[in-house]
């Protein structure tokens, strides 16, 4: 038993600030084995129950960031951006945002994840492009960033490994949903990446990881506060997940949708959120630009093909088959496509995105365990969004699946995820708050 750790537990249990020295010592002692799991678990539970002072949360974030490799990506270019999403159904924003920013001269360097459960992962979406391999180490990552303006790879054990150790303990002690612990976990990796600025897309609503609007706002504000106090200029939007972001749920389906958006087609939800996030990043990269000038540059990059060209260059650099970018119909496709008829005539009042995400995951688009395989071709294509009229004989969605799936049950469940009723319906605003 560690006496300093006991002091930290007592302070957290009684709501007293710990201070920099105590937090630094606690994490260092845990990582070298001086503090046993049961003591750190007690401290985590005290933090989960009573919270953590902002100053202590910033310190914890800095300490976790310093436990591993520091990339210092800002040294590679005058301005390098980062972006993080807390995860949602059909959230392929990164696939559009990153090439768009690269096209207007704003490099992006970020770590991204694989899918777990029914929330998709950007790594899986990118790897659904035939032949594409993300950078395997820091050298390949920085080479990609220098060559294409885009450095993106999967989560690394070398970056903030202390956070990985803490998360493993949080996962088995019921402390995963603590807002200070979530914030320090996310932002520790952002600090370790060493970019010039960061934008956070914090999802709220039934299809998000965090469904409570109050908790979502608290988390977003805390992460912005941590970033700014730690020297990483950070902005955030709280975006709506009461329905899937765009029209696609599933890996190749979302890649194809991203290509359409980068080709200048307006994809409701996806295009709008991408432009909102790009505007926040560009305002930090170009402080002398007016908001109108930034909007013009971003819209021009989508309209003139330069954003799509940036995606093509990036895919080619990573060994991917660029023919699948030129023609998304060449992406891996499922054996069976089933139209899902509307349950009634009227107007779509609600779409249960969480249920659609679960269905897509069961088809193989997501994974129940970290080592589960992914089927890149399966998923759901939406044909209606909230507020759209529909007749009972018209499809609200299309299932992309394999011949082995129980088609009748899946059709019934998918149709039931759409609430169709008389009278008009309006979806909540896409952007709830900008911080």
Catalytic residues, by residue number, are 84, 163, 170, 185, 189
By the 8 A CB rule, do 160 and 189 touch? yes
Is 433 exposed, middle or buried (CB count within 10 Å of its CB: 0-12, 13-18, 19+)?
middle
d(C-alpha 226, C-alpha 385), whole Å? 36
Distances (CA, A) of 150 to 78, 189, 311: 14, 18, 9
Distances (CA, A) of 204 to 84, 86, 415: 14, 9, 24
> What are the residues whose beta carbons fall under 8 Å from the beta carbon of 237, sequence distance 6 or more?
199, 200, 201, 202, 273, 276, 277, 280, 431, 432, 433, 434, 435
Question: Can you read off the two tokens belonging to residue 115?
Answer: 């899918």
By the 8 A CB rule, do 135 and 148 touch? no
Cα radius of gyration rounded to whole Å, the chain: 22
């Amino acid at each position: 038993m560690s006496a300093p750790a006991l002091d930290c537990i007592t302070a957290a249990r009684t709501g007293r600030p710990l201070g920099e020295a105590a937090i630094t010592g606690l994490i260092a002692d845990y990582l070298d084995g001086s503090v046993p799991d049961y003591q750190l678990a007690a401290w985590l539970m005290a933090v989960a129950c009573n919270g953590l002072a902002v100053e202590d949360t910033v310190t914890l974030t800095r300490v976790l960031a310093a436990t591993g490799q520091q990339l210092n990506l800002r040294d590679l270019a005058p301005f390098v951006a980062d972006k993080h999403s807390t995860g949602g159904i059909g959230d392929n924003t990164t696939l559009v945002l990153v090439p768009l920013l690269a096209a207007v001269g704003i490099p992006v360097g970020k770590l991204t994840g694989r899918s777990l459960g029914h929330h998709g992962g950007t790594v899986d979406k990118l790897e659904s492009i035939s032949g594409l391999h993300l950078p395997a180490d820091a050298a390949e990552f920085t080479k990609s960033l220098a060559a294409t303006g885009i450095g993106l790879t999967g989560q690394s054990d070398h970056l903030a490994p202390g956070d990985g150790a803490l998360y493993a303990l949080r996962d088995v002690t019921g402390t995963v949903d603590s807002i200070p612990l979530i914030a320090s976990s996310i932002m520790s990796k952002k600090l370790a990446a060493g970019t010039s600025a960061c934008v956070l897309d914090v999802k709220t609503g039934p299809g998000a990881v965090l469904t409570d609007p109050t908790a979502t706002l608290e988390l977003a504000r805390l992460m912005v506060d941590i970033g700014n106090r730690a020297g990483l200029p950070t902005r955030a939007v709280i975006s709506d997940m009461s329905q899937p972001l765009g029209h696609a749920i599933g890996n190749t389906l979302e890649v194809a949708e991203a290509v359409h958006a980068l080709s200048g087609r307006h994809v409701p939800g996806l295009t709008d959120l991408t432009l909102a996030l790009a505007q926040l990043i560009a305002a930090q990269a170009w402080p002398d630009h007016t908001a109108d000038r930034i909007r013009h540059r971003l819209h021009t990059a989508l309209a003139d093909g330069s954003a799509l060209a940036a995606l093509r260059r990036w895919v080619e650099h990573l060994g991917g088959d660029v023919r699948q970018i030129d023609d998304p119909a060449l992406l891996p496709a499922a054996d069976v496509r089933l139209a899902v008829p509307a349950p009634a005539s009227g107007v779509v009042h609600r779409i249960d995105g969480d249920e659609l995400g679960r269905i897509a995951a069961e088809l193989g688009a997501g994974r129940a365990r970290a080592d589960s395989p992914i089927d890149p071709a399966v998923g759901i294509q939406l044909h209606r969004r909230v507020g759209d009229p529909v007749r009972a004989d018209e499809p609200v969605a299309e299932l992309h699946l394999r011949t082995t799936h129980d088609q009748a049950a899946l059709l019934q469940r998918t149709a039931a995820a759409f609430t169709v009723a008389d009278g008009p319906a309006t979806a909540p605003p896409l952007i709830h708050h900008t911080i």
